[in-house]
Every structure is written in structure tokens, then in C-alpha cells.
Structure 1
Amino acid sequence: MNIGIVFYSKTGNTRSIIERLEKELKKNDHMVKVFSIKEDQSFEKIDIEKYDAFIFGTPVHAFSVSEPMKNYLNQISTLKDKKIFFIATQALPYEWMGGKRTIKQMKKICESKDGIICESGIINWPNSNRDKKIIKVINKLNKSL
């Protein structure tokens, strides 16, 4: 499967998860291309048609999807028939402290563009079981492809 991973990372936490996910997907013979949204909200133009699935990763900002990711998702014209996956990272300890809302906001945008919503995962960065949660999310996404 040809997978596009689009992410925004301010501190590097989201980037570290995306790098691990990319390695795992490639081990399973997926073709993976990673795209980074920059701090100034600039991004590389992506040919949506080239990909079967997309993974969108972002940190939670103010209990919501980050502005750079929201702006990126809003500018996409269509995700018709594309499998869509989400990863949210957050500094607060519980998913209900912005993680769930962030996923819900991204889902709403992608559904409006006819994407096929598949799976999501939230990583609470200060959690002592963070590494186990990262592995669990990566495995869940990998199995869904």
C-alpha cells in the first residue's frame, strides 16, 4: 500500500512517533512518504491521488488540533476513497484533556472531504506507560492497513 504520512511537530514528540511508525510500515512492505508541516505552516504540495492511505499526526494545542494541521487539512480538496488514520500527542495526562477533541476535529474535516476514517491513537507524553502506548498505537494502525 502506498501511504502518505503528514505531520506537524513543534517539540519533536510527534516527529519521534512518526519516525517509528514509518520504520514499522516499511518493514511490512508498504511504500511510505513522510511530509512535514513547518512551523510557519508551509508544506509541500502533495498529489493526493498517488496514495491509498494517509496518516495525519499532530500535537494537541489548547485542547484542539494544532493550527498548522487544521490549516493543512482544510486546504485539501478531496480525500475521496482514501483510508485515513490519526495520531495526536499531548502533554496532559488524560485523553479527554484535548486528545479526543483533536481527533474528533480532524475526523470532521476529513469526513467532509470523503475520506474513509479508519483508526486513531492518542499518546499522552508524560504517561509512564508511554512507550507501551506508542507500540500499541503503531500496531493498531499497521494492522488496519
Structure 2
Amino acid sequence: MRIGLIYFSGTGGTAKIADIFGSELKSAGHIVSYLRIKRNFHPDLQTYDLIGIGSPAYSFRAPRFVTQNLKHLSLEKIPFFVFCTSGGMPGNTLWNLYKAVERKAGLFLGYFEVSITTNLRSWMPRNTLSAPNQSFLPPISQSRCKEFIFRILSKQSDQVVAEKSPKKNGIISLWSIFLTRRWQMAATVGIKRLNKIKCNQCTLCAHQICPSGAIQISTSGYPRFNEWRCVGCNGCVNLCPQDAIWSYQVRNHAQYNPFQKYILKKM
């Protein structure tokens, strides 16, 4: 089968799960494509036999940037599953992903959630002279991921009846109406600034890290920030290799970058 893993990831946590899924699918002999959701996301999905859709939880729901992009996809009744990462409270994230595509996609095969430490840099330990201790990161259960993919492939081959949809929490839905807008998520990062002494003009922030087109490279070679496009993914402040991007909310805190290779190096 040809399988597409569609995911949104700011700092690499959800991309890590997509990579684990992809490795398991490849070992079973399938062809896997990784499709990170970014601005102007319009992939051709007609040739895929199975789709996986993943996202982190932003304040107990899938980022609106994600669900808006998913609603415009042409899924051609392709069987699908959804997955999410969270700091321990996914809220309605799985339901949001499911609801965004249910009318266009095919058989729903199931859902998966895993806890990863929140990527909000302001919650990270204070910077010290030594490397920050990230031993508090919970281990990602590869065995759980492997078991889930095995179940998905079994359901796909048997063409069983659709799984029940993820549950929706009405109270969280009310919360989401008022407290999960794009500008509110961007406020968790704060107004971004650049330390030109640290910046080596690598342009990774604009070309690989930022998913929303909120960073452009100026004629002088330095990044320029458009706060109106920021979706609050925390990628730029966490994954800049020189730690040159900062805000008052995140300064003096360690970067959250244990999964940076999944963003800085395309899967």
C-alpha cells in the first residue's frame, strides 16, 4: 500500500510519532510519505490507500490552523486514522481531527494518543551554564505505537466496520470557543525578537521551522517576523540552532528541542 502520514508539528514531537509509525509501516513493506501541514498545504492524495492524520493538542484541542487546512483536503474516501500528542490532556484534539475530515474520508480505523512534555518554553527549566536537564521527558512507548499500527493494518486488510469516533467533551468545546484563537496561541510565545550577534543567517527558521509563513528573510539576510501569521507553534524559539530567537516570555529558559531533527532534517 501507499500510505500518507499527514501531521502538524512545531517542535518535532508529533513528527517523532509520525516517524515511528512510518518505520513500522515501511518494515511491513508499505510505501510511506510524510506530509507536514504548512501554509498553502495542498497535497495530491488520490494515489494513497491509507491516511494517518496527527497533531499536537493546543489548549485541549487541535490547532485551528490544522483543522482549517484539513477541511480543504480532497480525501477521496480514503480509509484513515488520527493521532495526537499532548502534555497529558488531549481534550478534544482527536475529535477535532476526526471531525475535520469525516465527510470526505473513508473508513475510520481508529485513534492514538501519547503524552509528551509540553513544548511551551516558558515552562522549561531556567538556562544554566551546563546543558539543561531534559530527563523529565516521558519515554515514548514504541511498543504501543507498534501495536497500534498492527491493529490499523489488520483492520485495513479486513475492511471491518468503522471504529467509533473519538469522544467530544462539551465543556472543553465551550472553552475552545473563547480561548483557542490564533492570536491567543501566538501569545504563548510572545513578540519575537532576534539576537543578531547569535544569528548566523542559516534561514532554517523561515524555510523549515515555521509552518505558517510568519518568518521571512530580509534583504540583509536576517529573519523578519510577521506576528499576524504566527500560530504559536513555538518552533522558532525552540529550534533555532543558535538560540537567536527569543521573547520576554521565553528568555532565560532552556529550549525545548529533543525532537528537533524531525523538523530541521526533513523525514
- The TM-score range, normalised by the shorter chain, is 0.7 to 0.9
Q: Structure 1 or 2: larger helix share?
A: 1
Matched with 1:139 is 147
Considering fraction of residues, name the structure with more strand. 1
Report the aligned-residue RMSD.
2.0
> Does structure 1 conserve the Cα–Cα contact (< 8 Å) formed by 2:79 and 2:105?
no
2:64 aligns with 67
How far did residue 64 of structure 1 move?
A: 0.7
**Preserved contact between residue 79 and residue 110 of structure 1 (Cα < 8 Å):** no
- Give the 5 Å matches for 1:70-89: 70-80=67-77, 82-89=78-85
Aligned residue runs from structure 1 range 1-145, under 5 A: 1-38=1-38, 41-43=39-41, 45-80=42-77, 82-91=78-87, 93=88, 97=89, 99-126=90-117, 130-132=139-141, 134-145=142-153
Q: CA deviation at 1:130?
A: 4.0
Q: Distance in 2 between matches of 1:138 and 1:14?
A: 16
The gaps in structure 2 that reach 5 residues or longer are 118-135, 154-267
Q: Gaps spanning 5+ residues in structure 1: where?
A: none
Give aligned-pair identity as a percent. 25
CA distance in 2, matches of 1:142, 1:6: 19
How far off is 1:119 after superposition?
1.3
Distance 1:137 1:79, change over 3 A: farther
Q: Which runs of 4+ in 1 moved over 2 A?
A: 126-132
Q: Tell me by how many angstroms 1:115 deviates.
A: 2.5
Contact 2:79 2:109 in 1 (8 A): yes
Shift of 1:129: 6.0
What count of residue pairs does the alignment treat as equivalent? 135
CA contact (8 A) 2:5 2:33 kept: yes
